[in-house]
Amino acid sequence: MPNSYKPLGWVVALLLITPSTAWAHTATGTVDGFLSGFTHPLYGWDHVAAMIAVGILGAFLGRPAIWILPVVFPLVMALGGVLGILGVPLPGIEPGIALSSIVLGSLIVLAIRPPLWVAVILVAMFAIFHGYAHGAELPNAANPLAYSVGFVLSTGMLHLFGIAIGELIRWPWGKVVARATGGLIALTGVGFLTGVL
């Protein structure tokens, strides 16, 4: 290791062994809020499945859907989040979330290519349910703004992962992988809807 990097190594080592409680007065709420928001979608398979499905569907439909759908989802999800924060009654949240995986996964596994406007409406409709569910939990976050930023970044990463899977359709084996993933997403939705998962 060159000498210029040795001080950096010591700083990193010191930060790794410093208890997080030592940072309590600087940004604990921000750090906790961001990490909670970032990891929250990753622990809910119902949300993971739908967000990956949005990316795959966008890739299946090609340009401009490949970027429109992953942008529409978090934007409309934010609106659903506001409804959840405000406590506006919205029936069927959990079934709506489960149906998002069933419908989007089925479109992928069956290779159905709806017109872009139909895909946008479907994605937006399901995003309301996902956003509402997370918005209802947001007031309990240590730092709601940091939670929201973490949540949006995590959602974007899941969309990108879905796009990467969808881009595999360029190869015959990739079509099988992408459609099989769509089938798993749809089955996951059925599991949530029936209470098996």
* φ, ψ at 104 (rounded to 5°): -65, -40
* Residues 6+ away with beta carbon under 8 Å from 73: 51, 54, 123, 124, 126, 127, 130, 155, 159
Alpha helices in the chain (DSSP H): 6-17, 24-43, 45-61, 65-86, 93-109, 116-137, 144-166, 172-194
Q: What span, in angstroms and rounded, lies between the C-alpha atoms of 24 and 39?
A: 20
pLDDT over threshold 60, residue 196: yes
**pLDDT tier for residue 108 given thresholds of 50, 70 and 90:** very high
DSSP code, position 142: S
Give per-residue pLDDT as tens, 17-69: 444 333 333 334 455 677 777 887 777 788 888 889 999 999 889 889 888 99
Amino acid at 105: G
* φ, ψ at 112 (rounded to 5°): -85, 130
Give per-residue pLDDT as tens, 146-167: 777 787 788 888 888 888 888 8
Q: pTM for the full model?
A: 0.75
pLDDT of residue 13: 43
**pLDDT tier for residue 185 given thresholds of 50, 70 and 90:** very high
Mean pLDDT of 177-189: 91
The pair of three-digit structure tokens given for residue 184, joined into one six-digit string: 């798993």
pLDDT over threshold 80, residue 98: yes
pLDDT of residue 100: 93
Q: What span, in angstroms and rounded, lies between the C-alpha atoms of 88 and 60?
A: 35
36 and 134 Cβ atoms separated by less than 8 Å: no
Q: Higher-confidence residue: 16 or 71?
A: 71
Using the structure block, give the residue that is written with the tokens 């930023």.
149
Mean pLDDT of 70-99: 88
